[in-house]
Chains A and B, each alone.
Chain A
Amino acid sequence: MKKSLLLVMTLVLSITLAACGGNNTTNNGTNNGTPNNSQGSTNTGGNNTPETEPPAAELEGQILAVGSSAMAPLVEEAANKFMDENGKVTVLVQAGGSGTGLTQVSEGQSDIGNSDIFAEEKFVDDEAPKAAELVDHQIAVVAMAAVVNPEVGIDNLTQAQLLQIFKGEVTNWSEVGGIDQEIVIVNRPSSSGTRKTFESYALGEASPDLPGQIQEESSGNVRKLIGETPGAIGYLALSYLDDSITALSYDGIEPTEENVTNGEYPIWAYQHMYTKGEPSELVQAFLDFMLSDEVQTNDVVELGYIPASAMTIVRDVEGNVTQK
């Protein structure tokens, strides 16, 4: 008797609890944005302009940005500066992966979804309509290079050679002009945005997972493994390059910031901050701040990214490049 009662109670409770979860966080940001908006519009025609003139001081509320863990340090740095300037604003940055960020912004649980990959590439098939609802804000560019263990003895690979290596068709460095040493691939998991970028712009097609291949998510560990393992090859963002590894030229073009911005070196990706629909005033102010010189010329560069403003070309989801 008592046991069954307990069971029923727990079931009822768990269902009600499950039902009321979620959807609490967004309202803070958007709600606080709107009153400011209306106040601004009523005052534009009025006389008491001096009091409401400085718009920056009026910002108030909370912004939640969830997503790519690689982007988190950059957004956090910018968020701290933004909060220093706007005392009533709280910006929370959470790292949970690009997929999590896109899911949460699409479900309205967060205001901004950070992603190192286009939403269209994550939301596929049945989920495609979700990508259409999201508005893309490209805040920086991250360039990558194929890197090898220094003892391999090469400094350039063509697109065809890279593809052969990552498909497992070439298994010894001597076949591509290096020493006689077996090739060890240090790849990323198939869900990784870094791997998607590398496959799309360096290999030209998706590469299969190979038996015996090492897969690591963290760039620090990838660098450590490539530096230590004889015959290792992998790929890293330019900010991770150091003396323990050799960065390869791609089709003869060196991976430098200049070659990326003028469009010669193709292995790079945008860092996206997605909002669901057009952002509220508060979120827009933060996104504008991300694109302001203060962030773009300081934090973006310091953390190894290339400012979005420095790019002389634009690339869309399909990879079509146009001059700015």
Chain B
Amino acid sequence: MKERVTLDHPKEKISKQHLTEEWVGKIYTWLCIIVLIVTIFSMVYFVASRGLTTFFRGVNVWEFISGLRWQPDAKPPIFGALPFIFGSFSTSIMAALIAAPLGFCAAIFMTEIMPKYGRRYLQPVIELLAGIPSVVYGFVGLSIIVPFLRDTFPGQGLGLAAGAIVLSIMILPTITTIATDALSALPGGLKEGSYALGATRWQTIYRIVLPTTFPALMTGVVLGISRAFGEALAVQMVIGNAPFLPRSLFDSTSTLTSVITLSMGNTVMNSPHNNALWSLALILMLMTFVFVFIVRWLERRTKI
């Protein structure tokens, strides 16, 4: 009798314990999810409500996006954000154009050519780049890249080119890491088949490896572009910040982020200028959504 009771008791206890565990886990997960969703929704709502105010107060959406003049202090103020939109796109795409070949080559080196040394030494070094604070990039850009461009090319050194170069170094780790993962996930059979047919290593790399992993490589590039698109501080330090379309690669211009960081703190809430900055933030956010969709679309094509 006694023994049975002592045997039964722990069993019940254990099942009860499991039940509470189950519930604690469930509630905890739900709470986390709710907090997460609320945060995301409130952020989107906040930026959208602020950003749309400009358009409710008589600024034409099309004029805002396509206008070339940005004169928040004029009477009446003129808000044309095209120079900033152009600046953001051109710096991030140029940065990707510089960083993508470098990143792909580094990835090929690390997976195909010298996996042992590449993985052991090169990868940590490139990943280290991701951990450097952006203000350091900005300052290095201002101290090294800007004087170099100033001495070598016409202009003051600050501008599109300086911004693109700084950004390209910043997005290198993103592109390299994703490319390395994609290349090493490639089934060995494909490469072996290629070698068996008598292809050289280089032929295998650019006829088999690169085309097969192309969507995955592009995912890295798009993620890099979206990181460059959202980067504020480093770009702001080297791009010059004139609110105009640049006349050359070495001419001072602005990006969406640089204009927001420069003026947000200096303007008072609800002033037309401040609202216009929120509208820029809204454009920035919408563009980030677009990048996320492109990445999702590319990922669906990645299945080898």
Contacts and interface: CB of A to CB of B under 8 A. Distances in A.
A191 B240 contact: no
A238 B273 CA distance: 29
A96 B265 contact: yes
B269 interface: yes
Interface string A95-117: 01111101100110000000000
A194 B216 CA distance: 48
A229 B158 CA distance: 10
A14 B45 contact: yes
Given A190-B263, A191-B273, A193-B266, A228 B241 contact: no
Interface stretch (B8-16, B35-43, B117-125): B35-43
Contact of B252 (A13, A14, A212): A212
Interface stretch (B173-181, B194-202, B243-251, B285-293): B243-251
Contact of B237 (A122, A127, A221): A221
A38 B267 CA distance: 38
Contact of A17 (B42, B237, B247, B270): B42
Interface string A225-254: 100110010000000000000000000000
A229 B251 CA distance: 14
Contacts of A106: 268
Nearest to B40: A10
Nearest to A228: B147
A213 B252 contact: yes
B266 A215 contact: no
A242 B266 CA distance: 27
Interface residues of A, number: 46
Interface in B42-64: 42, 45-46
Contact of B72 (A18, A122, A191, A213): A191
B244 to A, nearest CB: 4
Given A10-B38, A211-B247, A215-B240, A221 B142 contact: yes
A214 B242 contact: yes
Nearest to B240: A214
A127 B147 CA distance: 43
Contacts of B41: 10-11, 14
Range class of the B interface residue count: 35 or more
Which of A11, A69, A102, A216 has the most chain B CB atoms closer than 10 A to its own CB? Answer: A216
Given A190-B263, A221-B142, A127 B242 contact: no
Contacts of A232: 156
Contact of B156 (A18, A124, A208, A229): A229
Interface string B64-82: 0000001111000000000
Interface in A183-217: 184, 189-193, 206, 208-217
A317 B185 CA distance: 68
A9 interface: yes
A100 B268 CA distance: 6
B210 interface: no
Nearest to A232: B156
A123 interface: yes
Contact of A211 (B147, B158, B251): B251
Nearest to B75: A125
Contacts of B240: 213-215
B244 A189 contact: no
A192 to B, nearest CB: 6
A6 interface: yes
A3 B262 CA distance: 41
B271 A10 contact: no
A209 B71 contact: yes
B50 to A, nearest CB: 12
Contacts of B158: 214, 225
A102 B155 CA distance: 38
Contacts of A103: 268-269
A6 B241 CA distance: 44
Contacts of A127: 268, 270-271
Contacts of B156: 184, 212, 214, 229, 232
A209 B242 contact: yes
B59 to A, nearest CB: 15
Contacts of A184: 156
A183 to B, nearest CB: 11
B105 interface: no
A124 B267 CA distance: 11
B268 A123 contact: yes
Nearest to A10: B37
Interface string A268-288: 000000000000000000000
A224 interface: yes
A208 B78 CA distance: 13
B157 A229 contact: yes
Interface string A1-40: 0000010011101100110000000000000000000000
Interface of A: 6, 9-11, 13-14, 17-18, 69, 96-100, 102-103, 106-107, 122-124, 127, 130, 184, 189-193, 206, 208-217, 221, 224-225, 228-229, 232
| Closest CB pairs A-B (n = 5) | A97-B265, A191-B266, A215-B241, A191-B263, A103-B269
Given A14-B38, A97-B264, A206-B73, 19 more contacts: A10-B37, A10-B38, A14-B45, A97-B267, A99-B266, A100-B268, A127-B270, A127-B271, A130-B268, A190-B263, A191-B72, A208-B71, A211-B247, A212-B242, A212-B244, A213-B240, A213-B242, A215-B252, A232-B156
